[in-house]
Homo-oligomer: A and B are copies of this chain.
Amino acid sequence: MSEDKPRIGVAMIGYAFMGRAHSQAWRNAHRFFDLPLEPHMAVLVGRDEQRATSAARQLGWDAVETDWRRVIEREDVDVVDICTPGDTHAEIAVAALEAGKHVLVEKPMANTVAEAETMAAAANAARGRGVHSMVGFTYRRVPAIKLAQQMVAEGRIGEVRQVRAQYLQDWLADADAPLSWRLDKEKAGSGALGDIGAHIIDLTQFVTGQRIAGVSGMLDTFVAERPVAESFSGLHGTGGTERGPVTVDDAAMFLGRLSSGAPAVFEATRFAWGRKNAIRIEVNGSTGSLAFDFEDMNVLHYYDATESTETAGFRRILVTEPDHPYIEAWWPAGHGLGYEHGFVHQAVDLVRALGAGEDPTPSFEDGLHVQRVLDAIERSSAQHSTYTEIGD
């Protein structure tokens, strides 16, 4: 059977945790959604050819390269999907954009503001040539989060007054969990702050439609030294007897103000025993509230203060109805989605934007702003938590 739709070739660089999630998206997006272009999983890039070949076979990629520079020259590649550690993002993304490839880059977009500025400038220049870029804040694509964003935009909770957001994990709470690149400032840029704090910064900005204008931050590292990992499987590794330093934060706490002046409270930690992936955001407005927790990801809680107090209460909206964002393509009501669906929706939104010749979101400018927030938190933390404004 021939396929009618034009293809869009994808090259994915990196194939660890994020690479597996992105592959699932590219493999399935067009099976559920009506897309203008059909993704073609053209090539996977990994430095170790044997392992990359095995991964490509497992994940469904047609070819393998060991040098990312090769794929940005390939004719069958339209999109470069960057799933490597943060210290490599800028170089690859800029080169890809200059080579005329659309770019999807995992978050955090970069390890420093300077890198992010370079990337945003490159994206801006590329845009003029019809070449687009996007940052992978996939949690925006969780249906309940998208619904929250829509409801705020529609004025369902009135004017935003306050936000509280947390990202709580516990995979480092064990002091003997081994070191990985995620605990190395050179590779990762920062710790909980950039890895998971970046998500709640983006979600807060996405849901409220505002930017964070200033922050007062406090960072902490609870466990200063850990065993060096001998092997890894997902986030979990096996440590040996050698020990090495943790050079990033274990937890990041910060107060902030949105562009409207509304205050917000944030916390990102990998040390909250029992919280596995608790991404929480609550927005209180002048006429209602919205609350979300990723540990119950198919649910959005909504309080409508315009109702009679006799029967008002937080509604547990099961965000699985056909009229909810992204849901019509999937299953009947009550048949919930999982973690990976956010990646499918990301691929859908990207391909639709590219098909329409429009800029996908979040843009590299959005990613740059998040980077500036991260930077301001670090600077505030270093200066007695003094409130630090964030430029545009």
A binding-site residues for B, Cβ under 8 Å: 1, 3, 17, 20-21, 23-24, 27-28, 31-32, 53, 56-60, 62-64, 147, 151, 156-157, 161-162, 164, 166, 169-171, 173-175, 216, 218, 220, 222, 233-236, 251, 253-255, 257, 263, 265, 267, 269, 271-278, 282, 284-289, 294-298, 300-305, 308-318, 320-324, 328, 331-341, 384-387
- Residue picked from A3, A20, A255, A324, most chain B C-beta under 10 Å: A255
- A3: contacting residue among B57, B276, B296, B336, CB under 8 A: B57
- A263: contacting residue among B156, B220, B322, CB under 8 A: B220
Which residues of chain B are near A294, meaning CB under 8 Å? 334
For A267, give the chain B residue with the smallest CB separation: B265
Q: Which 3 A-B pairs have the closest CB atoms?
A: A276-B334, A277-B334, A274-B303
- A315: contacting residue among B156, B170, B312, B323, CB under 8 A: B312
- A335: contacting residue among B277, B304, B332, CB under 8 A: B277
- A322: contacting residue among B27, B236, B337, B386, CB under 8 A: B236
A373, chain B: closest CB distance, angstroms: 15
Number of copies: 4
Bound-state Cα–Cα, A383 to B14, Å? 46
A-B contact pairs, 25 of them (CB 8 A): A3-B57, A20-B32, A21-B331, A24-B28, A27-B31, A171-B332, A174-B305, A175-B286, A216-B255, A220-B263, A233-B322, A234-B331, A253-B265, A255-B385, A271-B284, A273-B284, A273-B288, A274-B312, A276-B320, A276-B333, A310-B324, A311-B315, A313-B315, A331-B340, A338-B341
For A385, give the chain B residue with the smallest CB separation: B216
Known: A216-B384, A336-B338. 20 other contacts (CB 8 A): A1-B53, A1-B63, A27-B28, A27-B31, A28-B28, A162-B271, A216-B385, A234-B332, A253-B263, A273-B284, A273-B303, A274-B289, A274-B303, A274-B312, A277-B333, A296-B296, A302-B311, A311-B315, A313-B315, A338-B341
For A156, give the chain B residue with the smallest CB separation: B311
Bound-state Cα–Cα, A256 to B271, Å? 17
Which residues of chain B are near A170, meaning CB under 8 Å? 284, 305, 333
Bound-state Cα–Cα, A31 to B57, Å? 9
- Residue picked from A151, A235, A336, most chain B C-beta under 10 Å: A336
> Are B339 and A339 in contact, CB atoms less than 8 angstroms apart?
no
> Are A322 and B162 in contact, CB atoms less than 8 angstroms apart?
no
> Are A321 and B295 in contact, CB atoms less than 8 angstroms apart?
no
A277, chain B: closest CB distance, angstroms: 3
> Are B222 and A255 in contact, CB atoms less than 8 angstroms apart?
no
